[in-house]
A and B are shown apart, each in its own frame.
Chain A
């Protein structure tokens, strides 16, 4: 994971962190752990995988060994449809390392058809509130980042 040299300094003071981040700093690259590996393996295969509880039939995300709803350890990985809606977002004007060329950019919380939410970026749509009504239908796309693939989202009608 040599490319994951500098994670975004979540919690850093914006002013100092921005100054400390030269333009050449790469974007943060996630480093999978054993419990999250199926998610990242799925992304590399072009599938958005989340967990589902066999006990209560509910989906959940982020990866965990047991269902946070009913406590059952009988859980499985399933492939989500990739359909989602725009639940909330910000348009970030203070770029994180590696994002300077894209600022301002959209950081979103999307809600999957399966009911779970995750953070992501929106692509293929202007970073402009007029183009970003909440609950906008989205679909997943995958972007290579370091040696993993990141799920990003784009308006469902975009081709």
Chain B
């Protein structure tokens, strides 16, 4: 059974939205995705979203009577997991048309869950006591080891936000659009050495939603947008706390999830026209390119610095500007999927010519979980 994304939309606005609660962001994105597909809430019989507010509240708020729910919450990659789980559920006959929602008041914190880790949790016992303050001081911990082992330079790390800003410069919805240089990045405020402010993602409010169904069902319903086909997907996880990654220079979850996704899709790396790699920090696209096998070990820094992922390059990467320049609500994965859908529908702000196959890598937590989707404009 062929699985498609029949509807996809973000909230009307992204960025600073103090007038929107977390739930409002979910529901606005859901209604936008339904409108995008030309469907109503009564066409939906499955709902997936992260634990807070969770699929029960989203289904009830919208007046959906769900036959299937998924509340998988494994960080910012969760929405890629939801797509894969929805595909399996639809193929198993558990439901026919699934709504996946994301909404996060990441900046304004309106109606948002607390981030607190209890002092008896793993992170509370073995990481928080050392003065970790959010991802900036923990997700970044792997980079110096990577730099020592591969020779990646500070300048090459700084090239990542420079390359992505070139894409953001072409995207009116991006939060930061002015072109920047390596010198600008290295002159920006030090957050957690070796990471400067411009090597860290934004913190924003926003949401997005997807409608996943079978190709046959989409055609029977008469959805009104070009269908985006799910060719393959994979998921995996590694350590719940970053200090216990087996190898600080490579993500096992990235490797396993991408291997599964490429195997199911039956496409090779050379078939990929467009790539989205979850970029909470500047080193993530470097790990993603290498761990998914697009470049060899230690080659990603030079690959990005040489412009291959920039506009006009042979492997367009993070073409919305990414979490570093477009938006980053906290669980960014939904926005990576949204940009892949726009590219494959040929409606992106910075459109890649002839984009037919797009790969999306979602990270969850801090190299904690990962999922990969291989999407295409046709089968």
Contacts and interface: CB of A to CB of B under 8 A. Distances in A.
A14 B191 contact: yes
A9 interface: yes
Contacts, number: 174
B131 A10 contact: no
A11 B243 contact: no
A13 B129 contact: no
Contacts of A62: 122, 125-126, 241, 244
A78 interface: no
Nearest to B144: A88
Most chain B CB inside 10 Å of its own CB: which residue of A89, A120, A150: A89
B144 A89 contact: yes
A54 interface: no
Given A29-B119, A31-B118, A32-B120, A12 B129 contact: no
Contact of B145 (A10, A11, A134, A150): A134
B368 to A, nearest CB: 11
Contacts of A32: 120, 125
A90 B243 contact: no
Contacts of B323: none
Nearest to B133: A96
Contact of B117 (A10, A120, A129): A10
A81 interface: no
**Main DSSP-derived SS at the B contact region:** mixed
A102 B138 CA distance: 17
B115 A134 contact: no
A11 B135 contact: yes
A16 B110 CA distance: 13
B130 A119 contact: yes
A107 B244 contact: no
Given A12-B134, A13-B134, A89-B144, A94 B129 contact: no
Contacts of B127: 10, 119
Contacts of B330: 13
Contacts of B56: none
Nearest to A1: B119
A31 B120 contact: yes
A9 B136 CA distance: 12
A11 B115 contact: yes
Interface stretch (B162-170, B192-200, B311-319): B192-200
Contacts of A4: 119
B130 A107 contact: yes
A46 interface: no
